[in-house]
């Protein structure tokens, strides 16, 4: 069965510092990986997906199939980045295509 591991529960950095939120997955097929974010008092929402190879709010994530990782990075953290971040995996599936397996999430705290 597929699994998503986020090894850290909390990352606290100062404003302007680089950020790397770790995500590892296990799945033998062809995965698609996503990062979701939940800001305080807001609902969970999609941040970015690996297939788009996009940068959203300065965040990027590269899928490394050799290391089965999908770490989220930002070179200079901002206070407004403080939130809960979830890594998620979509597997090949014949039902509703957006069935996702989530990691436990990590809290990012950016201090002024």
- 85 near another protein, judged by CB under 8 A: no
What is the C-alpha separation between 62 and 43, in angstroms, rounded?
25
Q: Which of 23, 49, 85, 110 binds another protein (CB under 8 A)?
A: 49
- 97 near another protein, judged by CB under 8 A: yes
Tell me if residue 80 falls in helix, strand or coil. Answer: helix
Q: Which of 19, 25, 27, 90 binds another protein (CB under 8 A)?
A: 90
- 83 near another protein, judged by CB under 8 A: no
Strands (E) located in 1-112: 3-5, 10-14, 19-21, 24-26, 32-38, 45-49, 60-61, 72-74, 83-90, 100-102, 106-111
Task: Give whichever of 38 and 69 is closer to another protein, judged by the CB atom.
Answer: 38
- 104 near another protein, judged by CB under 8 A: yes
Least distance CB 109 / another protein (angstroms): 18
């Amino acid at each position: 069965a597929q699994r998503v591991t986020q090894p850290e529960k909390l990352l606290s950095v100062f404003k302007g510092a680089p950020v790397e939120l770790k995500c590892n997955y296990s799945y033998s097929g062809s995965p698609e990986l996503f990062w979701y974010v939940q800001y305080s008092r807001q609902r969970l929402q999609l941040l970015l997906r690996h297939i788009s190879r996009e940068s959203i709010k300065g965040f990027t994530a590269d899928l490394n199939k050799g290391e089965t990782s999908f770490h989220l990075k930002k070179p200079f953290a901002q206070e407004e980045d403080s939130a809960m971040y979830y890594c998620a995996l979509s597997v090949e599936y014949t039902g509703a295509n957006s069935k996702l397996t989530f990691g436990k999430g990590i809290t990012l705290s950016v201090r002024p």
